[in-house]
A and B are shown apart, each in its own frame.
Chain A
């Protein structure tokens, strides 16, 4: 059974703080990992993707991957109220295709 798990939240952080979102996955052979942001009533928007162990930074966002622990995280620095959304972790469990398995999402609330 291929599964992706996330804490559903809500996770509340004050404006300007670091928000830390976590995700674990079941298949040790997975090769690609993605973070999406979804505002209420909207479709998912790609935020970050990562393939190798370690950190990958893009602006205020940092994705962290630890394949040995089957763990991927997203850090949001200097959180803004506009970052308030549901963050979806997705893992591609297919070596031939794009069978993304999504976690249930973590709802983030950034308080002014």
Chain B
């Protein structure tokens, strides 16, 4: 069975640009969460969607937005990119909305020049 898939794997952007990252959850999983991980730190929660509804939002600026589609896949959008947005962006899926084990995809490594 396929795990969580993310695309693209790597991305290079310049300051001020916009980026869209994509995630397909494990088959049957209805919850998708997004995390940002900078080098040397643990992942930091950005958003969670369950059944197309936002269930949680972390402490990130409004430049970050996300949505979930009827097939439970998800997109994370980041506008007006800053150098500090350079990080590994991780998508995780789970079957239920809370207190469930989450499984991560391989991530998208975003570099801002």
Contacts and interface: CB of A to CB of B under 8 A. Distances in A.
A93 B15 CA distance: 33
A31 interface: yes
A43 B105 contact: yes
A98 B90 contact: no
Interface string B78-113: 000000000010101010011111111111000000
A107 B69 CA distance: 37
A71 interface: no
Contacts of B41: 104-105
A42 B106 contact: yes
Interface in B52-91: 55-56, 58, 88, 90
Contacts of B50: 97-98
Given A97-B56, A97-B98, A43 B42 contact: no
Contacts of A92: 98-99
B31 A98 contact: yes
A88 B102 CA distance: 13
Contacts of A68: none
Interface stretch (A14-22, A44-52, A56-64, A76-84): A44-52
Contact of A98 (B40, B97, B104, B107): B97
B33 interface: yes
B42 A105 contact: yes
Given A31-B99, A43-B105, A51-B99, A102 B43 contact: yes
6 contacts: A94-B56, A97-B55, A97-B56, A99-B56, A100-B33, A100-B35
Interface of A: 4, 31-32, 34, 36, 42-46, 49, 51, 88, 90, 92, 94-105
Q: Which 4 A-B pairs have the closest CB atoms?
A: A102-B42, A97-B55, A97-B56, A32-B99
Interface of B: 31, 33, 35, 40-45, 48, 50, 55-56, 58, 88, 90, 92, 94, 97-107
Given A31-B99, A97-B97, 13 more contacts: A32-B99, A43-B88, A43-B104, A43-B105, A51-B99, A95-B98, A96-B97, A97-B98, A98-B33, A98-B92, A99-B45, A100-B92, A102-B42
